[in-house]
Chains A and B, each alone.
Chain A
């Protein structure tokens, strides 16, 4: 059934055209949404990187006074929030958007408008989270925001933590919506013949990540609601005088927080699992083991959270239990690493940039994993907790791991969506500089931490002897920054190039996304493929002859340039952007409510109205614009 769309004034009618910016605002196409996610996330990656560079500059010398302690607190808090929620997660979702429908042979995701909503909430929510920078102070209590420090009466007096709690609440909606969308898409929209055990590893990791998102985010949602209520309405959840327990926050946060780190790393592991076989010219070694390891990691991720809390006094039984589960969860990751090495072993390795970053991932993630294993033991963790040793661990797994994996994916899949190739020489320079910079910056943090340098201090005295390695670390961070600029330059140069028509399958890939033109047509596949096995695209290109040698199959005429086919796609809509910005506006209004009662409440109410208008209009808009009843 359709609302009486014909009777509405033209500007309120459902959009049907694609031109310019308006085309992006009302798009529901997973490829365009993926591109928007990628550019927004890279922007925030640069913001987070700038915050990191300032942090490192402040720490380069003992007793430095570049920034005040107060600003420093905001810097490290926002650096973490930006990198985790506004860079890494959205980059992963960008890949889900771009790649998953193509890898499963679908024309789009299950709920295209919901997909667009996730993006608009992300963009507007990211702005809310950062609003504090220009409105009196950003969040400053650490990204994990331990109560009761985060309460109004113990804080710095700014609204930073309100932007934190309400901004993250809104961003959480984006993540859950996205998780639900991809869960349904992967379960329900696969091409005929693509059983679960014939899905590419990246799609499998996307499925597990989606399950983690929809189950873990509700827990932090409650923690954030309780914090917001304490700060804005004066409830007593974390108020010490009323019996509020700081451990309640910590448990709720980390029950979310630990699955969250697997949400951060599984997509990158999925990317690496695609790149390694392609550039080793060998199938992935131990596909079922990699899949089951991923499932086991997702499942066990729920059993380890209190390893973030070994030092709070839960008692020896709790500590021992979580120590055991944490050591256990190292096993499936080890399995994956051996399988990745097995993939490369005996292969014909092509050291292109995507491959460099994937190999770098393995090396760096092993280091990060090893420091993680040392954290798993409570006695050693007692020394490491709150020192730079943890910072080293975090950055080896998240930078050396997630970010390197993501860059691998960017270089790998760039040609598919742009019809151009990123410059290979600049890519190698990017990799070498980033690898060196990363190790120079985070390597020394291991022994700085073991030497006792605490986290979250804005400066330190020269008498501790930490200055030399801090300076080295800062130099490393500048090298990382330069390498990032090399990457940005590469992107800008490449985007100015002419689109090519011969880049459908530049790497001789194995999976379905390489079987369609680059960039893909709006409908992705002219005909939905029938899948007969794992790496089904590869099987259409190569067979083995009687001697067991791989021989190419003569290909038919490419239908890359055939005439447009009339496949109709989901309709455009402006309701997602309205609903998304409405939600963030209400978050913003409530965040400033305490100080600006009237303005805050007005904005909040307008935001809620926009959300309702957006949602209601959406419900009455047919998913398919050609349906009229």
Chain B
């Protein structure tokens, strides 16, 4: 994201080019994740050997990480609200909070993955391992990029280089961040929760 809108070019729609592009990119990314989710669902129940999802999924644990990511969306939108009001202190607080929550999520993912590997689920082990780790891995990669972007803006703000006029940058970062969150809403339901009956019974 460039750091500053160029001199007053008017656009056909009156909307900023970068915001139009971000929404188009998000539309495109829907297909990226849909293909990964498709692969997972098409292979569900078809692994020739275990371990199987219901043997390793920990629904309460994953619910907590889903909750963490949802809260990070709250802090993200509060950060945007802050810079739109010109409140730089709150901007920094909420940006930092969002990044921390993002890192907590990532830490939780890392821990979950190590447990799974310990229990015999590997990328190379079976269809479940391959499709699960690839899907959640790419989601995690998206979260990581998001944290890097948010922390970059945090540092820029600390240096006095992020003005109220530049709030679009935070808005764009927010759109990206919320998108990553809604992808997790889908993953949480479609990958984890539907296994829950098998896990419990």
B119-149 CB contacts (< 8 Å) to partner A: 123-127, 129-131, 134
Q: Per-residue 0/1 for A346-388: is the Cβ within 8 Å of any B Cβ (1 yes, 0 no)?
A: 0000000000000000000000000000000000000000000
Residues of B within 8 A of A244 (CB): 127
A223 to B42, CA, bound (A): 14
Q: Is the CB of A622 within 8 A of B31?
A: no
Residue from the list B3, B21, B36, B124 in contact with A236, Cβ < 8 A: B124
Q: Out of B2, B12, B152, which one reaches A190, CB within 8 Å?
A: B12
B11 and chain A: residue at smallest CB distance: A188
Q: Are A189 and B12 in contact (CB under 8 A)?
A: yes
Q: Which residues of B contact A190 (CB under 8 A)?
A: 12
B4 contacts which of A235, A241, A627 (Cβ < 8 Å)?
A627
User: Which residues of chain B have C-beta atoms less than 8 A from A214's C-beta?
Assistant: 24-25, 27-28
Assess the B6–A619 pair: CB atoms within 8 A.
Answer: no
Q: How many residues of A contact B (CB 8 A)?
A: 47
Q: Which residue of B31, B42, B46, B129 is within 8 Å of A219 (Cβ)?
A: B31
- Per-residue A-contact encoding for B1-18, CB less than 8 Å = 1, 0 else: 111101100011101010
The reply to whether the CB of B63 lies closer than 8 angstroms to some CB of chain A is no
Contacts of B152 in A (CB 8 A): 619
- Chain B, residue nearest A107 (CB): B9
Contact between A184 and B20, CB atoms less than 8 A apart:
yes
Contact A223 B12 (CB under 8 A): no
Query: A229-B134, A235-B124 are known contacts. Are A623 and B28 too (CB-CB below 8 A)?
Result: no
B24 touches A1 (CB 8 A): no
Chain A residues with CB under 8 Å of B161's CB are 1, 629
Given A243-B48, A248-B39, answer yes or no on A188-B20 (Cβ-Cβ < 8 Å): yes
Question: Is B35 located at the chain interface by the 8 A CB criterion?
Answer: yes
Cβ-defined partner of A248 (8 Å) among B42, B47, B156: B42
Which of A217, A223, A237, A622 neighbours the largest number of chain B CB atoms within 10 Å of its CB?
A: A237
Tally of A-B Cβ pairs under 8 angstroms: 131
Q: Among A1, A187, A222, which residue has its beta carbon within 8 angstroms of that of B39?
A: A222
Q: Determine if B111 is an interface residue (Cβ-Cβ < 8 Å).
A: no
Chain A positions 169-195 with a Cβ under 8 Å from a chain B Cβ: 176, 180-181, 183-184, 187-190, 194
Residue of A nearest to B125 (CB): A236
A489 at the interface (CB under 8 A from B): no
> Is A417 an interface residue when CB atoms closer than 8 A count as contact?
no
B55 part of interface (Cβ distance < 8 Å): no
A586 to B164, CA, bound (A): 38
For the complex, what is the distance from the CA of A627 to the CA of B166, rounded to whole Å?
13
Say yes or no: is A330 at the interface (Cβ < 8 Å to chain B): no
Shortest Cβ gap from B11 to chain A (Å):
4
Q: Please name all residues of chain A whose beta carbon is closer than 8 Å to the beta carbon of B20 when the two chains form the complex.
A: 183-184, 187-188
Residues in B with CB closer than 8 Å to A111 are 17, 21
Q: Given known contacts A183-B24, A233-B123, is B35 in contact with A223 (CB within 8 Å)? A: yes
Are A243 and B17 within 8 A (Cβ)? no
Q: How far is the CB of A624 from chain B (nearest CB, A)?
A: 4
Whole-angstrom distance between the Cβ of A3 and the nearest chain B Cβ: 9
Smallest beta-carbon distance A227→chain B, Å: 12
User: Interface digits, B149-177 against A, CB 8 Å rule (1 contact, 0 not)?
Assistant: 00010001000011100100000000000
A619's contact among B3, B21, B24, B29, by CB below 8 Å, is which?
A: B3
Interfacial chain B residues near A194, Cβ < 8 Å: 12
A110 at interface, CB cutoff 8 A:
yes
Task: Evaluate contact between B127 and A243: CB separation under 8 angstroms.
Answer: yes
In the assembled complex, which residues on chain B have CB atoms less than 8 Å from the CB atom of A188?
Answer: 11-13, 15, 17, 20
- Contacts of B36-65 to chain A: CB distance below 8 A: 36, 38-39, 42-43, 46-49
> Which of chain B's residues have a CB closer than 8 A to the CB of A2?
3
B32 within 8 A of A: yes
Q: At the interface, yes or no: A286 with Cβ under 8 Å from chain B? A: no
Q: How close is B143's CB to chain A, nearest CB, in angstroms? A: 17
In the complex, the answer to whether A622 meets B3 with C-beta atoms within 8 Å is yes
Residues in B neighbouring A226, C-beta threshold 8 A: 39, 130, 134
**7 smallest beta-carbon distances between A and B, as pairs:** A222-B35, A218-B32, A235-B130, A218-B31, A214-B28, A188-B11, A624-B6
Q: A222-B36, A235-B123, A242-B48 are in contact. List 15 more A-B contacts (CB 8 A).
A: A176-B28, A180-B21, A184-B24, A215-B27, A216-B31, A222-B39, A235-B130, A242-B49, A243-B47, A243-B48, A245-B42, A619-B1, A622-B4, A627-B4, A629-B4
Can you list 11 A-B contacts (CB < 8 A)?
A: A1-B3, A180-B24, A180-B25, A181-B21, A215-B28, A218-B35, A222-B39, A225-B134, A229-B123, A242-B126, A624-B7
